[in-house]
A and B are shown apart, each in its own frame.
Chain A
């Protein structure tokens, strides 16, 4: 299963990822990105939406784990 990484210190809370892939991303109480599944696992049917989220993130704060 593909895994996603978030770089919280650079997140600016734009929320683009939560709109593109709401199954995977949410915003925490501080308004910054959190993963619904803290392990970073992304189910196959959500991969495309996460690709979109990575593309639209203005802070480049999310990416696939190499």
Chain B
């Protein structure tokens, strides 16, 4: 092998997680180095697939499971990425530099943690049949449930819950969304945009139970009962839990990789963890963002990809002059009823200016200001306006690490 002296072995990088961050990291490593050996381990046997379409076109059936696959076996072989899908990691020994899996152990010189998140399911014990929408397997199960017209209760009015609501209405199912906040997405986007979202979904026939907590889920897989905090029951043929996710990092406890109070991996500004030569990327990671002036943990796809690439570049950087801090302006998109929803920046501003809600349910432009300065933008069905406003956000160009 060129550049490797006789007897020397290739540097071994192990990536845990074949999602957006892990795969982006592996591919970037290969693009930058022909020599490094790359092993990617993931518990999910279906990996690598594209997660964003799961709650959209895969759920609707417009895109099949095969099309959702990100890389074929042939492409992975060509990239010389040794993907071990269906292999859960049991623990990491950062002293002997070994990843312990249920199959053979993987020794490493450098380790990249990109385990992603796992859905929070508070009612799993009383209702182990409750559906989630996180993996390809989840979507398969849910699609099998919904062969006949059904009434679906979605617990959680966040992005995933609303995307599912839109798709299920499109398929002709009845949908009730139960949300603890006063409006759907309200905790993320604030009351004005939440009111618009509610109106948009109600127009399509989605019912809402807002400001209501779920105190119990009982019944059975095809006759679920969701009990609200005011004592009322909401019945559904199917109950979907979409109340959020938490970092899938329990196997890291005691490894020397420091975790935060919510199980997130605490990385530094370059995305290094507290263990030597162990890096982290994706939505299980929090890092000190210079632009946000606080630690951020971002659950969005583009951020995960950017972090994966950044780690690959940092890991291979030969000297300090080539090292750089990671930062980004969080960006997300969603697709509901055929309209593109896009958001960037921070939605915690002290002023929100909304164009459109009184006149139209087809488009929306919301500007979030902090001290009179534009710090966040959210639009529906207005991609050009979105691009223009995003470029005016502080640090508004996405980091793409062009070197």
Q: Which A positions have Cβ atoms within 8 angstroms of B? A: 12-16, 18-20, 27, 29, 31-32, 48-49, 51-53, 55-56, 58, 60
Chain A residues whose CB sits within 8 angstroms of the CB of B383 once the complex forms? 13-15, 27, 31-32
Contact A60/B70 with A13-B340, A14-B342 known, Cβ cut-off 8 Å:
yes
Q: Are B302 and A16 in contact (CB under 8 A)?
A: yes
**Interface residue? B108 (CB, 8 A):** no
Q: Does the CB pair B390–A55 fall under 8 Å?
A: no
- Segment touching A, from B7-15, B120-128, B173-181, B394-402: B394-402
B91 in the interface (beta carbon within 8 A): no
Q: Which residues of A contact B273 (CB under 8 A)?
A: none
B387 touches A56 (CB 8 A): no
Which size bracket describes the interface of B in this complex?
20 to 34
Q: Least Cβ distance of A17 to chain B in Å?
A: 10
Whether the pair A56, B340 counts as a contact (CB closer than 8 A) is: no
Q: How far is the CA of A29 from the CA of B382 in the complex (A)?
A: 10
Chain B residues whose CB sits within 8 angstroms of the CB of A32 once the complex forms: 383
Q: How far is the CA of A12 from the CA of B301 in the complex (A)?
A: 14
Residues of B116-167 whose CB lies within 8 A of A? none
Which residues of B have CB within 8 Å of A20?
398, 400, 402
Interface flags for B41-80 (1: CB within 8 Å of A; 0: not) read: 0000000001010000000000000000010000000000
* Selected A-B contacts with CB under 8 Å, 11 pairs: A12-B340, A13-B383, A14-B342, A16-B302, A16-B331, A31-B382, A52-B402, A55-B305, A56-B306, A56-B400, A60-B50
Chain B residues with CB under 8 Å of A18's CB are: 387
For residue B384, CB closer than 8 A to chain A, the reply is yes
Residue B337 at the A interface, CB < 8 A?
no
What is the distance, in angstroms, from A61's C-beta to the closest C-beta of chain B?
Answer: 12
Q: Note all chain A residues with C-beta closer than 8 A to B391.
A: 19
Find the A residue at minimum CB distance from B384.
Answer: A31
Top 7 closest A-B pairs, CB basis? A31-B383, A13-B383, A52-B400, A20-B400, A15-B387, A19-B398, A19-B397
Name the residue of chain B whose CB is nearest to the CB of A52: B400
The answer to whether B24 and A55 touch across the interface, beta carbons within 8 angstroms, is yes
Question: Is A56 touching B302 in the complex (CB atoms < 8 A)?
Answer: yes
- Complex contacts, B384 vs chain A, CB 8 Å: 27, 29, 31
Taking CB atoms, residues of chain A closer than 8 Å to B347 are none
> Hey, which chain B residues are within 8 Å of A16, CB to CB?
302, 331, 398
Chain B 301-312 interface mask (CB, 8 Å, partner A; 1/0): 110011001000
CB < 8 Å neighbour of A53 from B50, B397, B400? B400
B39 within 8 A of A: no
- Nearest CB on A from B300, distance (A): 9
CA of A18 to CA of B129 in the docked complex: distance in angstroms? 44
B79 CB, nearest partner CB in chain A, Å = 13
Answer whether residue B335 sits at the interface, using C-beta atoms and an 8 A cutoff: yes
A48-B403 Cα distance, complex, nearest whole Å:
8
